[in-house]
Structure 1
Amino acid sequence: MPDAVVVEGLSKRYGAVEAVRGVSFTVGHGEIFALLGPNGAGKTTTLEILEGFRTRDAGRVEVLGRDPGDRAEGRALRERIGLVLQDIAVEPYLTVRETIARDAGYYPSPRDVDEVIRLVGLAGQERRKVKALSGGQKRRLDLALGVIGDPSLLFLDEPTTGFDPSARRSAWQNVRDLRDAGTTIVLTTHYMDEAQALADRVAVISDGEIVAEGTPSTIGGRDIARARIRFALPDGCSVAELPVAGLPVDAVPAEAVPGDGLVTVETRKPTEALHELTGWALRHGMVLDRLTVDRPSLEDVYLRLTEHGAPEHNTRRSTR
């Protein structure tokens, strides 16, 4: 089966500013693909081209086998994609059910309205007017409007903005359920834990170019980076007293950080290093409080890849 989204050599210029330069990536059917990048990096322009809101200057783009820039394909494509943008204009005096039912009429084979209301967690709110909903409930309504047409491809732009932690986890499960049912999802988010939890693959765009692509666990070399062992230095002990000689030869001990007082030891052999450090502590009757072992997080990698960000060129358009 061909990929759901194909982007090859995509370029877009605004006057003297080249917002997107030779961007290429694919999104497989039934995949959650996260496109990450700071404001002004070219992410919004790329998505608006995929959604058919903006024309491209160069390159090839296919969405569900169609060219989103071809006006003749517009209606057929809109019937097969769903959009959950950052700000969707809806009638404030309609009820939740009226709003979703109205949008259901735009599609040839919509999902059941009550089923969608349950799916997004708005059961019991059917008769409330849109203007009376909380920020999180309005975001759930946005998701309902995005999926009511039973799309083959769903664009999710910052889907959990305004959600509390419990609501975010619930929304994540909704997204996974959509993927498991066969919906392809293109996700944008500034929450790296959200990308880590949801995405099958991630691409990072910076200054108009894709700078890294891969799974959340391997992108930017996360899987082969040095592990970090962090702990609080025992009372009365100095960094110089740590058993540096017994650590693996590649270990890089660091000074205690003034902000949190933790010592960091980096190594590609964390088991050996941890054995040496904990053994030393036990022999001296010490406790390594706040002890953790991890590798650079997705956020660490993202910040490293995008540290030279570009200024913002455009603003995401709202539509319905």
Structure 2
Amino acid sequence: MTLLSVQDLTVTLATNDGPARAVRDLSFTLEKGETLGIVGESGCGKSMAALALMGLLPSMSKTTGRINLDGKNLLEKTETEMCRIRGNRMAMIFQEPMTSLNPVHTIGHQIMEPLRLHKGLSDDDAHKETIRLLDRVGIPNPKARIDNYPHQLSGGQRQRVMIAIALSCKPHILIADEPTTALDVTIQDQILDLIQTLVREDGMALILISHDLGVISENTEKILVMYGGAAVETGRTDRIFEELVHPYTQGLFAAMPRLGRARSKRLVTIPGTVPDLISLPAGCTFTDRCPLATDICRETPPPVIEVKGQHFVACHHVEEARARKTEELFS
């Protein structure tokens, strides 16, 4: 059964220089218990898409399309109705917990709040459940730590508190927006393992957002690669890694450091920068950085082609891209 269905989602931001299309015609589905990875460079629309799902976009934005949760379009919900859904049916772990947690309230207060609002628990029951949640996410001595303020915790512990808040009401969908960005590698692995364990135990669907293909490959069943606010390649994780097709996906993969690479060999980089969302090209948004680009790429939006078994690519030169070795494309 489809839990979440996103159809032609477009987010346009009003700026001083004109409208900026941060997300363009984005479509995907999410089944119960399924894990989806959204990957791309900074500025490609990943976080904006997540905020649209949660109904947390800035006031100067305009959203069109459909976001169906159990068949009901969230874009038609009032703010009061969305407040009942956020933190309850859908929850989000943000990139930087120090700016997400309230510095003037204890972590216990912040975990208990959704338990009182959404589950109607008494203060005593919310207190007991908060201690259980802190223990579950690996906070040592939770009975004492429940009265700590965010600044009294380490970065990894603050992120664990954010996870406890997100899980407190047992949401059906958990969105993790680069949840390990500010953490060192060891703590990053611990947090990702924790999220996977909790998602599996509670049967939640997971949307994991990252710029790191390695993180996505190890933690999700499906991948959606975004560039310029749009999906350029989608499919099952194993199939996409078996055959990287879109030149942008190939560039991301080639830029990953790998064991066994000669120390004298430089990492591959994608030339140029992400496009300005205010003045996107008429055709493919990757045109200015793509080694395969031709006139048709500059003038005409690329068709979405099914390469093999639910593996879709938006590109004019699919066959030529498939014929090239990944690192050769940007060498």
Class of the TM-score when normalised by the shorter of the 2 chains: 0.5 to 0.7
The Cα shift of 1:77 comes to 2.0
What is aligned with 2:117? 106
Contact 2:47 2:209 in 1 (8 A): no
Q: Normalized against structure 1, the TM-score is what?
A: 0.66
After superposition, residues 156-305 of structure 1 pair within 5 angstroms as 156-180=176-200, 181-219=202-240, 222=243, 260=264
After superposition, residues 46-195 of structure 1 pair within 5 angstroms as 46-54=49-57, 56-72=62-78, 73-78=81-86, 79-87=88-96, 88-108=99-119, 112-124=129-141, 125-180=145-200, 181-195=202-216
Quote the Cα distance in structure 2 between the aligned partners of 1:93 and 1:231. Answer: 48
Quote the Cα distance in structure 2 between the aligned partners of 1:4 and 1:165. Answer: 33
Unpaired runs of 5+ residues, structure 2, are 279-331
Contact 1:41 1:311 in 2 (8 A): no
Quote the Cα distance in structure 2 between the aligned partners of 1:40 and 1:223. Answer: 22
For residues 197-237 of structure 1, the C-alpha deviation after alignment (integer angstroms, 9 at most, x for no partner) is 11111101101210001233322653799xx9x979xxxxx
The Cα shift of 1:113 comes to 1.6
Quote the Cα distance in structure 1 between the aligned partners of 2:260 and 2:77. Answer: 59
Residue 22 of structure 2 aligns to a residue in which SS?
A: strand
What is aligned with 1:31? 34
Pairwise CA RMSD? 3.3
More helix as a share of residues: 2
Q: Which residue identity is paired with 1:103?
A: P
For residues 245-266 of structure 1, the C-alpha deviation after alignment (integer angstroms, 9 at most, x for no partner) is xxxxxxxxxxxx7x6269xxxx
Contact 2:38 2:46 in 1 (8 A): yes
Q: CA 1:216/1:48 → structure 2, altered by over 3 Å: closer, same or farther?
A: same
The Cα shift of 1:57 comes to 4.0
For residues 259-288 of structure 1, the C-alpha deviation after alignment (integer angstroms, 9 at most, x for no partner) is 6269xxxxxxxxxxxxxxxxxxxxxxxxxx
Residue 180 of structure 2 aligns to a residue in which SS?
A: coil
Q: Which residue identity is paired with 2:135?
A: R
Residue 217 of structure 2 aligns to a residue in which SS?
A: helix
Q: Which residue identity is paired with 2:190?
A: S
Number of equivalences: 246
The Cα shift of 1:159 comes to 1.1
Unpaired runs of 5+ residues, structure 1, are 233-256, 263-298, 314-320
The Cα shift of 1:154 comes to 1.0
Q: CA 1:308/1:94 → structure 2, altered by over 3 Å: closer, same or farther?
A: closer
Contact 2:36 2:223 in 1 (8 A): yes
Contact 1:30 1:182 in 2 (8 A): yes
Q: Normalized against structure 2, the TM-score is what?
A: 0.64
Quote the Cα distance in structure 2 between the aligned partners of 1:231 and 1:100. Answer: 45
Q: CA 1:11/1:71 → structure 2, altered by over 3 Å: closer, same or farther?
A: same
Q: Which residue identity is paired with 1:10?
A: L
Contact 2:6 2:27 in 1 (8 A): yes
Q: CA 1:178/1:16 → structure 2, altered by over 3 Å: closer, same or farther?
A: same
Quote the Cα distance in structure 1 between the aligned partners of 2:231 and 2:91. Answer: 24
